[in-house]
A and B are shown apart, each in its own frame.
Chain A
Amino acid sequence: MMKKKHFERRHLVELLMKTIMRIALIIVASSLGLILWTIISRGLPSLTWDMVTQIPKGGYYMGKEGGILNAIIGSIYLASGGTLIAIILSLPIALYLQAYAQDSKWGDYVRLSLDVLWGIPSIVYGAFGFALMIMLGMRASLLAGIIALALVELPIMTRAMDEVIRRMPKDLEHAALALGSTKFEVAVRVVTRQMLPGIITGVLLAFGRGIGDVASVLFTAGYTDRIPTSLMNPTASLPLAVFFQLGSPYPEVRERGYAAALILTIIVLFVSFASRWLASRLSKYSVK
């Protein structure tokens, strides 16, 4: 005869663990809500049109007129430049890993070093960039910031691409090889087209990381109230604008720092949603 549900210890433990796990999930998920709520509720009141359309005027850092357009533009320049350089490096690396080194020892080393690079904190990239700049006699500039960001973004982008391309169905590739294509042609024609969603995900992920990164540009890009007109100009960036304004003794300026944090959050969330949307849209057109 079958025993009915009876509360042995192990069933109590089961119930208990499941409940604790649910609570843990709720805590983790609600921390996102708390963060967003804090940023929105404190940032929104001081967010003005001027902030996103003007550069700092004379007394901006004492609470007078102006905005942080310089930082917004600067960040977009920095992250776009960094992303561009990172694409030029990562796309071939990711394709090589897939086309030539899928299960090779060398492929493992490259992946290992990319993962390790991913783990290196951006402050170290910043310090490295700074060390290079001293050696080369360079000054803080848009270009130096772009290079530092490219290094930060490279492993993120490459590994994201690599992971997505890895999931590509293998028969398609073999079919193309069987039709007489060389591996290079397979890589470029089939893989790129098939994996466009993955590539875009990787690129936007890296861009999002780049635009929010502080520690690497702190040393390398400098800070200025002007919008850079050349690669050799120093440039402001949005995360640094947040950071500097929060350090101000003027409450109005700190309030604007919160608003700047809100702007940054909106940009990053937008990029994140865009990549999700694009990836799901584009994947409709590829063979699954």
Chain B
Amino acid sequence: MNQTLSKISEDIKSHRTKQDLFASRTFFVLTVFPVLLIVIITVALYLRAQPILSEYALTDLLYGEIWKPNQGLFGFRPFILGTIWVTAVGVILSVPACILVSIYLAEYAHARTRTIAKPILDLLAAIPPVVYGVWGLLSIVPFVDDVLAPLSKGRLDSIPILSVTQPTGFGILAGGIVLAVMIAPLIISVTFEVLSTVSNDLRHASLGVGATQWQTIRNIVIPQTLPGIIAAVVLGASRALGETIAVLMVVGNVPKIPTSIFDTAYPLPALIANNYGEMMSIPLYDAALLGAALVLLVVILIFNILSTLVLQRMLRRK
């Protein structure tokens, strides 16, 4: 009797251990998937872009200024520069405000303010890109056209990057403003998290000798977290680089090298999204567009991997 009981319990035990082993193996196999996926995406895009890469030199593609697919001219330069301009304007507009907000939330704000701010940031992050696009179209483009452009005209117009070149409001500035709002929740939440890795002991050590709060932030908190803050900004920038539809709706989409923030631009993601319909009808067109996606991917991968590594180290110390 006793023996059978122990036999049964042993069976159950070994069954449970087997179950554990089976589960851990299955689960492990699944964890390979995300790692593998990055490789697969890169390789698949590379394979599809291969025809154009073998036809043209990479430098010709990247530096070429003329985009006429039906004549076999695939110069990405206007698109690459368009991407950089829009991203840069978005980041420059967004970052100072975002860092100040994160510092305020992490260092000054009452718990009550934080509990109000958190859902606001969550909602900003939840609003779909196309809605940001509609907002940009209805509010920001007219705002640039009616307020900012006239403001620049005659006053700052002589500065080349601020000269008003076209009268519609569509362009880099409108795209940058929309992007600035879109990437704000990400930058703020990451920076906030980074700032909260600083131990209160350090803050108190500085306050304890009679430093003001801002002195403490400037002398202790920011130097301590600078790599993380930079990583947050880089993450925000890479989010901006890849943003497609919202930018596409307000940026004008003219393949010309921009020289002013009031110029129109044609960023890479917009190029891909706008032309997917006809890309099978012209030779090498699909390879060119998937190549554009590959360029975007590689840059974003580099940005993301570097900043994530920095953040992983910082946040782990906590």
The residues of A with any CB-CB pair to B shorter than 8 Å are: 10-11, 13-14, 17-18, 20-22, 24-25, 27-29, 31-32, 34-35, 38-39, 42, 89, 92-93, 95-97, 99-101, 106, 108-117, 119-128, 130-132, 134-135, 151, 154-155, 158, 182-185, 187, 205, 208-209, 211-215, 218-219, 239, 242-243, 246, 257-258, 261, 264-265, 268-269, 271-272, 276
Counted as pairs of residues, one from A and one from B, with CB atoms less than 8 Å apart, the total is 265
Interface hits, B251-306 → A, CB 8 Å: 269, 272-273, 276, 286, 289-290, 293, 296-297, 300-301, 303-305
What A residues does B213 contact at CB under 8 A?
14
Q: Is the CB of A264 within 8 A of B123?
A: no
Q: Which 5 A-B pairs have the closest CB atoms?
A: A121-B242, A212-B128, A96-B27, A127-B293, A21-B104
Pairwise interchain contact A127-B131, C-beta atoms closer than 8 A: no
CB within 8 Å of A: which B237-257 residues: 238-239, 241-245, 249
Distance of A132 Cα from B33 Cα, bound (Å): 17
Is B37 among interface residues, defined by CB-CB distance under 8 A?
yes
- Size bracket of the B interface: 35 or more
> Min CB distance, A131 to chain B, in Å?
4
Give residues 118-174 of B contacting A (CB, 8 Å).
119-124, 126-135, 137-139
Closest Cβ of chain B to A260, distance in Å, is 9
What is the minimal beta-carbon distance from A32 to any residue of chain B, in angstroms?
5
Which residue of A is nearest B34, CB measured? A113
Cβ of B30 and Cβ of A92 under 8 Å apart?
yes
Most A-side CB within 10 Å, residue of B20, B27, B121: B27
Extra contacts, 7 of them, besides A18-B104, A89-B33, A154-B34 (Cβ < 8 A), are: A28-B121, A96-B27, A128-B44, A184-B23, A212-B126, A239-B129, A258-B138
What are some 22 contacts across the A-B interface (CB < 8 A)?
Answer: A18-B214, A21-B108, A25-B104, A25-B117, A35-B127, A92-B26, A99-B24, A115-B304, A119-B238, A121-B242, A124-B45, A127-B272, A127-B289, A151-B37, A184-B20, A208-B126, A215-B269, A242-B134, A261-B131, A268-B126, A272-B122, A276-B122
Q: A96-B28, A97-B31, A134-B48 are in contact. Are A14 and B129 (CB under 8 A)?
A: no
CA of A79 to CA of B240 in the docked complex: distance in angstroms?
23
Nearest residue in B to A187 (C-beta to C-beta)?
B23
Stretch of B55-63, B94-102, B198-206 with 4 or more beta carbons under 8 angstroms from chain A: B94-102
For A13, what are the chain B residues with a Cβ–Cβ distance below 8 Å? Answer: 212, 214
Q: Which of A32, A121, A131, A243 counts the most chain B CB atoms within 10 A?
A: A121
A257 to B26, CA, bound (A): 46
Closest to A130 in B: B276
Chain A hits for B269, CB < 8 A: 121, 123, 215
Residues of A within 8 A of B188 (CB): 28
> Which one of B97, B130, B244 lies within 8 Å of A264 (CB-CB)?
B130
Q: A10-B212, A112-B305, A268-B127 known; A21 and B100 CB under 8 Å?
A: yes
